[in-house]
Amino acid sequence: MIRIHGVKCGPGHGISVGSLGRYKDEKDVEDVKVTGCTLAGTTNGLRIKSSTAPNNICVKSGASKVAVNDVVFKNIHGTSNTPEAITLNCANNLPCEGVQLVNIDIKYNGSGNKTMAVCKNAIGKSIGLAKELACI
């Protein structure tokens, strides 16, 4: 069980669960709740990354051995220096399950691009999000 509440971060990477699956004896990640946080000019916003390969590629030739279940991002607001305010990049063989995005309001600082979410193999629900951030 992991609880994060009231964190103000940035500039920096934002709030990430990952990089998972890179090491032999890693344990599954379950019951993570991130609530009431503020992001200021982060590069990743909110992110889950389970992988066996570098650079946000989930599965190249191998498969992840780490499951990610029951992760809640709730009441998070702020800004991102990249358009991808939310990235849920989960392994092909072990999708992230039970992911909840609730009342997320992260805006892109730049011009010409909309704030967006990028999702791969994430199963869950989005509640109270702007349309561009509702990827599950």
pLDDT of residue 136: 79
| The one catalytic residue among 5, 13, 77, 125 | 13
Strands of the sheet with 84-89, listed across from one edge: 15-20, 46-50, 84-89, 116-120
| Average pLDDT over the chain, rounded to an integer | 85
Q: Is the pLDDT of residue 20 over 80?
A: no
pLDDT of residue 52: 56
pLDDT of residue 80: 92
Considering its fold, how many domains does the chain have in total? 1
* pTM as predicted: 0.84
CB 106 within 8 A of CB 79: yes
CB 69 within 8 A of CB 97: yes
Report the half-sphere exposure of 111 (CA within 13 A, side-chain side). Answer: 0
Tokens for 103, please give them: 């009342």
Lowest mean pLDDT across 17-31, 43-57, 105-119:
43-57
pLDDT of residue 111: 84
50-59, 92-101, 126-135, range with greatest mean pLDDT: 92-101
pLDDT of residue 60: 39
3 state SS of 81 = coil
Lowest mean pLDDT across 34-38, 40-44, 74-78, 131-135:
131-135
Per-residue pLDDT tens over the stretch 37-72: 999 999 889 998 886 544 444 333 456 788 889 999
| 5 given a catalytic annotation | no
Question: By C-alpha distance, which of 131, 122, 67, 130 is closest to 100?
Answer: 122
Q: Which domain holds residue 78?
A: 2-133
Other beta carbons less than 10 A from residue 40's beta carbon: 15
pLDDT of residue 62: 52
